[in-house]
Amino acid sequence: MMQKDKEQYNVKQIQPFLAEGAEEHFFQIMQGYNRMMAYYRCAIMEVETKFNVLNEEFSLQHDRNPISGIKSRLKSLPSIREKMDRKGLEFNLQNVEKELNDVAGVRVICSFVEDVYLLADALLKQDDITLLEKKDYIAHPKENGYRSLHLIVTVPIFLEHEKRIMKVEIQLRTIAMDFWASLEHQICYKKDFEFTEIMAKELYECAQLSADLDTRMDNLRSQVDLQK
Protein backbone atom coordinates (compact mmCIF):
# COMPACT_ATOMS: atom_id res chain seq x y z
CA MET A 1 0.00 0.00 0.00
CA MET A 2 1.39 3.40 -0.95
CA GLN A 3 1.83 6.11 1.68
CA LYS A 4 -0.48 8.48 -0.24
CA ASP A 5 -3.25 5.85 -0.28
CA LYS A 6 -2.86 5.16 3.42
CA GLU A 7 -3.41 8.84 4.10
CA GLN A 8 -6.33 9.06 1.69
CA TYR A 9 -8.21 6.24 3.38
CA ASN A 10 -7.28 7.22 6.91
CA VAL A 11 -5.87 3.75 7.42
CA LYS A 12 -3.63 5.05 10.21
CA GLN A 13 -6.67 6.15 12.23
CA ILE A 14 -8.48 2.87 11.67
CA GLN A 15 -5.41 0.65 12.17
CA PRO A 16 -5.93 0.11 15.93
CA PHE A 17 -9.39 -1.33 15.24
CA LEU A 18 -8.26 -3.78 12.56
CA ALA A 19 -7.24 -7.35 13.27
CA GLU A 20 -3.66 -8.37 12.50
CA GLY A 21 -3.22 -8.55 8.70
CA ALA A 22 -6.65 -7.07 7.94
CA GLU A 23 -5.26 -3.70 6.88
CA GLU A 24 -4.58 -4.72 3.28
CA HIS A 25 -8.00 -6.37 2.90
CA PHE A 26 -9.79 -3.33 4.33
CA PHE A 27 -7.83 -1.05 2.05
CA GLN A 28 -8.75 -3.09 -1.04
CA ILE A 29 -12.46 -3.02 -0.17
CA MET A 30 -12.37 0.75 0.41
CA GLN A 31 -10.52 1.26 -2.85
CA GLY A 32 -13.17 -0.72 -4.74
CA TYR A 33 -15.98 1.10 -2.98
CA ASN A 34 -14.49 4.54 -3.68
CA ARG A 35 -13.98 3.63 -7.34
CA MET A 36 -17.57 2.45 -7.68
CA MET A 37 -18.90 5.65 -6.06
CA ALA A 38 -16.71 7.75 -8.38
CA TYR A 39 -18.34 5.96 -11.37
CA TYR A 40 -21.80 6.71 -9.96
CA ARG A 41 -20.78 10.37 -9.51
CA CYS A 42 -19.78 10.45 -13.19
CA ALA A 43 -23.14 8.97 -14.16
CA ILE A 44 -24.90 11.69 -12.16
CA MET A 45 -22.84 14.32 -13.99
CA GLU A 46 -23.82 12.82 -17.36
CA VAL A 47 -27.53 12.84 -16.51
CA GLU A 48 -27.40 16.34 -15.00
CA THR A 49 -25.69 17.63 -18.15
CA LYS A 50 -28.36 16.08 -20.34
CA PHE A 51 -31.09 17.86 -18.36
CA ASN A 52 -29.18 21.15 -18.35
CA VAL A 53 -28.83 20.95 -22.14
CA LEU A 54 -32.56 20.27 -22.52
CA ASN A 55 -33.31 23.20 -20.22
CA GLU A 56 -31.14 25.52 -22.31
CA GLU A 57 -32.70 24.42 -25.57
CA PHE A 58 -36.23 24.68 -24.24
CA SER A 59 -35.63 28.17 -22.84
CA LEU A 60 -34.42 29.32 -26.27
CA GLN A 61 -37.53 27.94 -27.96
CA HIS A 62 -40.19 28.82 -25.42
CA ASP A 63 -38.72 31.70 -23.48
CA ARG A 64 -39.07 29.96 -20.12
CA ASN A 65 -37.21 27.28 -18.14
CA PRO A 66 -38.89 23.90 -17.65
CA ILE A 67 -36.40 23.04 -14.88
CA SER A 68 -36.55 24.94 -11.64
CA GLY A 69 -33.68 22.97 -10.05
CA ILE A 70 -31.74 19.72 -9.97
CA LYS A 71 -30.76 17.93 -6.77
CA SER A 72 -28.51 14.90 -6.92
CA ARG A 73 -27.36 12.47 -4.30
CA LEU A 74 -25.24 9.38 -3.85
CA LYS A 75 -26.72 6.83 -1.48
CA SER A 76 -24.70 6.70 1.73
CA LEU A 77 -22.88 3.53 2.74
CA PRO A 78 -25.21 2.88 5.73
CA SER A 79 -28.28 3.30 3.46
CA ILE A 80 -26.79 0.94 0.88
CA ARG A 81 -26.05 -1.58 3.62
CA GLU A 82 -29.54 -1.23 5.10
CA LYS A 83 -31.21 -1.76 1.71
CA MET A 84 -29.07 -4.83 0.89
CA ASP A 85 -29.95 -6.31 4.31
CA ARG A 86 -33.64 -5.52 3.81
CA LYS A 87 -33.60 -7.29 0.45
CA GLY A 88 -31.75 -10.24 2.00
CA LEU A 89 -28.76 -9.78 -0.31
CA GLU A 90 -25.13 -10.43 0.46
CA PHE A 91 -23.28 -7.14 0.84
CA ASN A 92 -20.53 -6.92 -1.76
CA LEU A 93 -19.76 -4.39 -4.48
CA GLN A 94 -20.86 -6.61 -7.40
CA ASN A 95 -24.23 -7.18 -5.75
CA VAL A 96 -24.69 -3.49 -5.00
CA GLU A 97 -24.14 -2.59 -8.68
CA LYS A 98 -26.34 -5.44 -9.88
CA GLU A 99 -29.22 -5.25 -7.43
CA LEU A 100 -29.62 -1.60 -6.42
CA ASN A 101 -31.10 0.90 -8.86
CA ASP A 102 -30.81 4.02 -6.76
CA VAL A 103 -27.19 4.36 -5.64
CA ALA A 104 -27.09 7.39 -7.94
CA GLY A 105 -30.16 9.62 -7.74
CA VAL A 106 -31.05 12.70 -9.74
CA ARG A 107 -34.13 14.72 -8.83
CA VAL A 108 -35.37 17.18 -11.42
CA ILE A 109 -37.75 19.82 -10.11
CA CYS A 110 -39.92 21.12 -12.94
CA SER A 111 -42.06 24.18 -13.30
CA PHE A 112 -45.21 22.51 -14.66
CA VAL A 113 -46.59 18.96 -14.88
CA GLU A 114 -46.35 19.13 -18.66
CA ASP A 115 -42.60 19.79 -18.30
CA VAL A 116 -42.13 16.56 -16.32
CA TYR A 117 -43.33 14.44 -19.25
CA LEU A 118 -41.70 16.64 -21.87
CA LEU A 119 -38.29 16.28 -20.21
CA ALA A 120 -38.72 12.56 -19.54
CA ASP A 121 -39.64 11.92 -23.19
CA ALA A 122 -36.75 14.04 -24.48
CA LEU A 123 -34.27 12.19 -22.25
CA LEU A 124 -35.56 8.74 -23.14
CA LYS A 125 -35.28 9.52 -26.86
CA GLN A 126 -31.50 9.91 -26.52
CA ASP A 127 -29.74 6.91 -28.00
CA ASP A 128 -27.29 6.37 -25.14
CA ILE A 129 -30.06 6.21 -22.54
CA THR A 130 -31.84 2.93 -21.82
CA LEU A 131 -35.00 2.81 -19.76
CA LEU A 132 -35.07 -0.07 -17.28
CA GLU A 133 -38.13 0.89 -15.27
CA LYS A 134 -40.78 3.61 -15.15
CA LYS A 135 -43.18 4.35 -12.28
CA ASP A 136 -45.72 7.07 -12.87
CA TYR A 137 -46.83 8.19 -9.44
CA ILE A 138 -48.37 11.30 -11.04
CA ALA A 139 -50.92 9.37 -13.06
CA HIS A 140 -51.19 6.87 -10.18
CA PRO A 141 -50.26 8.58 -6.88
CA LYS A 142 -49.23 6.46 -3.92
CA GLU A 143 -51.82 5.82 -1.22
CA ASN A 144 -50.37 8.57 0.98
CA GLY A 145 -50.63 11.09 -1.90
CA TYR A 146 -46.98 10.98 -3.08
CA ARG A 147 -46.60 12.08 -6.71
CA SER A 148 -43.51 12.00 -8.96
CA LEU A 149 -42.38 10.33 -12.14
CA HIS A 150 -39.63 7.78 -11.45
CA LEU A 151 -37.30 6.46 -14.13
CA ILE A 152 -34.50 3.96 -13.76
CA VAL A 153 -32.13 4.39 -16.68
CA THR A 154 -28.67 3.32 -17.71
CA VAL A 155 -26.18 5.82 -19.05
CA PRO A 156 -22.66 5.15 -20.33
CA ILE A 157 -19.64 6.83 -18.78
CA PHE A 158 -16.45 7.02 -20.80
CA LEU A 159 -13.27 6.36 -18.81
CA GLU A 160 -9.69 6.38 -20.03
CA HIS A 161 -9.68 2.72 -21.09
CA GLU A 162 -13.26 1.58 -20.88
CA LYS A 163 -16.91 2.46 -21.19
CA ARG A 164 -19.10 1.56 -18.22
CA ILE A 165 -22.85 1.38 -18.15
CA MET A 166 -24.22 2.85 -14.93
CA LYS A 167 -27.72 2.85 -13.43
CA VAL A 168 -29.31 6.10 -12.26
CA GLU A 169 -32.66 6.72 -10.59
CA ILE A 170 -34.32 9.87 -11.87
CA GLN A 171 -37.24 11.47 -10.06
CA LEU A 172 -39.08 14.19 -11.96
CA ARG A 173 -41.62 16.28 -10.10
CA THR A 174 -43.09 19.78 -10.01
CA ILE A 175 -42.29 22.40 -7.38
CA ALA A 176 -45.61 21.62 -5.69
CA MET A 177 -44.92 17.86 -5.66
CA ASP A 178 -41.44 18.52 -4.28
CA PHE A 179 -42.83 20.81 -1.58
CA TRP A 180 -45.15 18.05 -0.34
CA ALA A 181 -42.61 15.20 -0.68
CA SER A 182 -39.79 17.11 1.03
CA LEU A 183 -41.94 18.02 4.03
CA GLU A 184 -43.57 14.58 4.22
CA HIS A 185 -40.08 13.05 4.14
CA GLN A 186 -39.11 15.19 7.13
CA ILE A 187 -42.29 14.49 9.02
CA CYS A 188 -42.77 10.79 8.60
CA TYR A 189 -41.10 8.94 5.72
CA LYS A 190 -39.60 5.69 7.04
CA LYS A 191 -40.01 6.78 10.66
CA ASP A 192 -41.23 4.21 13.15
CA PHE A 193 -44.18 6.30 14.08
CA GLU A 194 -47.73 5.04 13.85
CA PHE A 195 -49.66 7.72 11.99
CA THR A 196 -53.27 8.10 13.10
CA GLU A 197 -55.96 7.88 10.44
CA ILE A 198 -56.71 11.57 10.89
CA MET A 199 -53.06 12.53 10.37
CA ALA A 200 -52.78 10.34 7.26
CA LYS A 201 -55.98 11.92 5.90
CA GLU A 202 -54.58 15.40 6.58
CA LEU A 203 -51.36 14.52 4.76
CA TYR A 204 -53.31 13.11 1.83
CA GLU A 205 -55.42 16.26 1.66
CA CYS A 206 -52.25 18.37 1.56
CA ALA A 207 -51.12 16.25 -1.41
CA GLN A 208 -54.49 16.94 -3.06
CA LEU A 209 -53.99 20.67 -2.47
CA SER A 210 -50.59 20.49 -4.15
CA ALA A 211 -52.14 18.61 -7.10
CA ASP A 212 -54.87 21.28 -7.39
CA LEU A 213 -52.19 23.96 -7.36
CA ASP A 214 -50.40 22.22 -10.25
CA THR A 215 -53.63 21.97 -12.27
CA ARG A 216 -54.55 25.62 -11.71
CA MET A 217 -51.06 26.90 -12.56
CA ASP A 218 -51.02 24.66 -15.66
CA ASN A 219 -54.37 26.14 -16.74
CA LEU A 220 -53.08 29.69 -16.30
CA ARG A 221 -49.97 28.90 -18.33
CA SER A 222 -52.06 27.34 -21.13
CA GLN A 223 -54.24 30.47 -21.29
CA VAL A 224 -51.18 32.70 -21.56
CA ASP A 225 -49.61 30.40 -24.19
CA LEU A 226 -52.80 30.58 -26.28
CA GLN A 227 -52.59 34.37 -26.38
CA LYS A 228 -48.97 34.42 -27.57
Q: How far apart are CA 209 and CA 176, in angstroms?
A: 9
Q: Which of 25, 81, 98, 185 binds ligand 0O2 (CB under 6 A)?
A: 185
CB 126 within 8 A of CB 46: no
Residue 12 engages ligand 0O2 in binding (rule: CB under 6 A): no
Residue 166 engages ligand 0O2 in binding (rule: CB under 6 A): no
| Residues 137 to 156 in contact with ligand 0O2, rule: CB under 6 A | 142, 144, 146, 150
Residue 136 engages ligand 0O2 in binding (rule: CB under 6 A): no
Backbone torsions φ then ψ of 167, nearest 5 degrees? -95, 140
Q: Which of 64, 189, 201, 212 binds ligand 0O2 (CB under 6 A)?
A: 189
Query: Pattern of binders to ligand 0O2 over 43-82, x per CB under 6 A?
Result: ----------------------------------------
For the bound state, the minimum distance from the C-beta of residue 114 to ligand 0O2, rounded and expressed in Å, comes to 22
Residue 176 engages ligand 0O2 in binding (rule: CB under 6 A): no
Q: Where are the beta strands (DSSP E) in 35-110?
A: 67-74, 104-110
CA–chain centroid gap for 87, Å, is 19
Backbone torsions φ then ψ of 61, nearest 5 degrees? -75, -40
Q: How many residues bind ligand 0O2 (CB under 6 A)?
A: 10
Task: Tell me the β-bridge partners of 135.
Answer: 150
Task: Tell me the β-bridge partners of 134.
Answer: 151
Give the chain's length.
228
Closest-CA residue to 166 (of 204, 213, 130)? 130
Q: Which of 102, 114, 136, 218 binds ligand 0O2 (CB under 6 A)?
A: 102
Choose between 27 and 151: whose C-beta lies nearer to ligand 0O2.
151
Q: How far apart are CA 56 and CA 171, in angstroms?
A: 20
Footprint of ligand 0O2 on this chain (CB under 6 A)?
102, 135, 142, 144, 146, 150, 181, 184-185, 189
